Chains A and B, each alone.
Chain A
Amino acid sequence: MKRLVTSLGKVFGPLTKLGIRPQIAVLFFALLFVPLFVRDEFTLRLLITSLMFGGLAMAFDFTAGFINIVNFGFAAFMGLGAYSSGLSVLKLGLSPWLGLIFAALLVGIVGFGLGVLTIRLGGIFAACMAWFVALALMAVTANWVDLTKGNSGLSVPPLFVTIRNMPYYYTILAIVILVYILLAVISSSKIGLAFRAIGQDVVAAASSGVFATKYKIINFTISCCLAGLLGGFYAHFVGVLTPQVLHTRNTVEIMVISYVGGRGTIWGGLVAALLLVPAMDYLKGLLELRLIMYGAAMILIMIFYPRGLAGLWTSGADYLKRKGVLPDTSTVSVSKGKTGQNL
């Protein structure tokens, strides 16, 4: 067992240096083969939704867990991406794939603009401003009927000319892998260190020469850009868009997933989504009770176990290390050795 882990450590060593967790690499590798075993279209669809929420939760965690700004309008940025991708295909005649990129760029630009204007406020103010913008966006989508068809819903052409879910599965898996690698690499780089410093103490970070506003804007823009990309995927996957996509309810859902996963870990949100989304679907028969359990779980986790699933994993791994089952890998951990560097 020990030898196996050590040799695996050699394989994953370079990855870990980049900030990519071995357990997530294994997870992605396993997910690649899922469609070979799962023939059921419904299960596959559920997995696609879970992966999508996983991607959104990771992008959300990138701002909430690192620079400590809760983007309370997150679903609206995703919805903006969905609508802009859908409308660019319908009105400008772009291909859906270009629509995805267009959505990511547009939402990134909007996020950048909002970041420049509001992010210096920090804390709950920035959260509320993002929320207000989200509410305004939702009201615009509901009322600008000529463009968005309002509450009756906008039909969006699909990405593939097939009714099967397999191609969508691989598309979203590729997107989520890219999102994870991007976020993991950034957050374990020097920039990520700056993000963490800002998240823990803005004043201390600023006094050690970190230009807080600049890093906050970079972070916010990246997160919004990814929300737009995933929103674009959502549009072409589901096929019908209503203003409800932009609803705060969805922000709360993404938020719960990312917090249950564990703050400031990136990968926690993905794992939580893969567990929570199917669980919620499985419990559909419980109606309201399901959502009450959801709320209660959130409160209990916040009070008694704020580190979330990722914290559980870390404690488990530490326990195994103490027992000698796993070798101590802290020598390859990135967090050590880098803390002393100047930014």
Chain B
Amino acid sequence: MEMLQQSWDIIVTAILRGGLYALMAVGLSLVFGVMNIANFSHGEFYMIGSYFAFFGITEFKFGPLPSIIFAGLAAFAIGMIVERGVFNPLRQKSKKGWLMNTFLLTLGVSIIMQNGVRMIWGSRYRGVTQFWPGRTKIFTSMEIANDRLVAFIIAMITITLLWYFLTYTRTGRAIRAVSQDETGASLMGIDLNWIHTLTFALSCMLAAIAGASLLSINPAFPTMGVNPLYKSWFVLILVGMGNIWGSIYGGLIVGLLETISIYRFGAGWQDVISLIIIILILLVKPSGLFAKKGVKSVLE
């Protein structure tokens, strides 16, 4: 019984942790699939989201949920500006070595955003104690903070909305068409520039929502995006590039790996253990666990 209880606790923690990794990874995967950009500034949008949620609560006196939405919209706008200002000019100029060039561009964006935030708002921690006070028990011996639970629910709702948007709306279908065949899509009269801007902005919004809804657990500071960034890359590489829905399972798997290794080996070693396991999986299945046939090749 003790054993069962413990493993149940681990699974619950892992799911809560993994849901937000999934939200981050879906955005990353979307940008990779549609724009063929390996985005290493994704964590910075998580950070921006966290900051905006903080200002939403403290400066503008929004409630918790409106602040999270506000953070998402603000990151959407910033994402549009970044796409128009950085990737669009490069796309117009040359598409040679696109993947590697944009990879470096995202690093530049990340440096600018991290230090820009530090310059404007300083490097002190900004957090709120609680969004939704209280704790809940779900068939388990331990209590879970409501904030964690709600953050997970927000992540799941956002992913569902994204799924609806991509599957049933005209614009969503246009995005998927571009990810399958850019030339074909543009022949059908889809405005590629607009779709790229929209996709990038959407992905930024997803990261920002993840950051914003975890504000009470992780306070905002300039370099907070690094950890979520590489967690979402674990997920992306583990499930295979460009597979958006696989990222959800991937997020849960990475969450589980981490929770188990923290539990078994103590904090600090979780990265080592989960990385070793991910590397071993990739050696057996180099294209990822759920790699789809026909998605964009990883070879440039």
* B 112-135 binary contact with A (CB < 8 Å = 1; else 0): 101110110000000000000000
* Contact pick for B275, options A122, A132, A295, CB 8 Å: A132
List, in ascending order, chain A residues with CB within 8 A of B279's CB: 129, 132-133, 136
Residues of chain B contacted by A283 (CB below 8 angstroms): none
**B215 within 8 A of partner (CB):** no
Report 10 cross-chain contacts, Cβ distance below 8 Å, ordered by A residue. Answer: A123-B99, A132-B237, A143-B268, A289-B119, A291-B114, A292-B111, A295-B110, A302-B101, A302-B105, A306-B94
B78-117: which have CB < 8 Å to A? 86, 89-90, 93-94, 97, 99-101, 103-105, 107-112, 114-116
Q: Is A124 in the interface zone, CB < 8 Å from B?
A: yes
Residue of B nearest to A252 (CB): B107
- Provided the pairs A121-B298, A135-B275, A139-B268 are in contact, do residues A288 and B111 lie with their beta carbons within 8 angstroms? no
Known: A124-B99, A142-B268. A298 touches B275 (CB 8 A): no
A302 touches B90 (CB 8 A): yes
Cα–Cα distance between A306 and B271 once the two chains are bound (Å): 35
B contact residues around A288 at 8 Å (CB): 115-116, 118-119
In the complex with contacts A117-B283, A124-B99, A129-B282, A294-B111 CB distance below 8 A: yes
Partner of B115, one of A122, A295, A306: A295
A238 on interface, CB distance cutoff 8 Å:
no
Q: How many angstroms between the C-alpha atoms of A337 and B110 in the bound complex?
A: 44
Asked if A259 is at the interface of the complex by the 8 Å CB criterion, the answer is: yes
Within 8 A of A (CB), among B283-297: 283, 286
Q: Give Cα A278 to B177, complex, Å.
A: 49
Does A132 contact B119, Cβ atoms closer than 8 Å? no
CB distance from B212 to the nearest CB of A (A): 23
Q: What secondary structure prevails in chain B residues at the interface with A?
A: helix
In whole angstroms, what is the CA distance A123 to B102 when docked? Answer: 13
**In the A-B complex, the 7 residue pairs with the closest CB atoms:** A295-B111, A295-B112, A288-B119, A298-B108, A299-B108, A136-B275, A288-B115
Most buried by B among A131, A139, A140: A139
- Inter-chain contact A70/B100, CB cutoff 8 Å: yes
B245 at the binding interface (Cβ < 8 Å) = no
User: How far, in angstroms, from A303 to B86 measured CA to CA in the complex?
Assistant: 8
B264 to chain A, nearest CB (A): 14
Contact A70 B272, beta carbon cutoff 8 Å? no
Contact of A303 among B93, B230, B276 (CB under 8 A): B93
Q: Are A125 and B271 within 8 A (Cβ)?
A: no
List residues of A (133-191) whose CB comes within 8 Å of B's CBs. 133, 135-136, 139-140, 142-143
A248 proximity list for chain B (CB < 8 A): 226
When chains A and B are docked, how far (Å) is the Cα of A143 from the Cα of B268?
6
Report the minimum CB–CB distance from A229 to chain B (whole Å). Answer: 26
Instruction: Closest A residue to B120 by CB, please name it.
Output: A288
Q: Does A204 contact B (CB under 8 A)?
A: no
Given known pairs A117-B283, A288-B118, the reply for A298 and B233 (CB within 8 Å) is no
**Nearest Cβ in chain A — how far from B252, in angstroms?**
19
Q: Is the C-beta of B59 less than 8 angstroms from some C-beta in chain A?
A: no
Bound complex: CA of A312 vs CA of B41, how far in Å? 29
In the assembled complex, which residues on chain A have CB atoms less than 8 Å from the CB atom of B275? Answer: 132-133, 135-136, 139
Q: For window 276-334 of chain A, which residues contact chain B by CB distance below 8 Å?
A: 287-289, 291-292, 294-296, 298-299, 302-304, 306
Chain B residues with CB under 8 Å of A142's CB are: 268
A128 at the interface (CB under 8 A from B): yes
A51 adjacent to chain B (CB < 8 Å): no
Q: Judge whether A68 is part of the interface by a CB distance below 8 angstroms.
A: yes
B4 within 8 A of A: no
The answer to whether B298 and A123 touch across the interface, beta carbons within 8 angstroms, is: yes
What is the minimal beta-carbon distance from A113 to any residue of chain B, in angstroms? 11
Q: Please, what's the 1-or-0 string for B4-34, where 1 marks a CB less than 8 Å from any CB in chain A?
A: 0000000000000000000000000000000
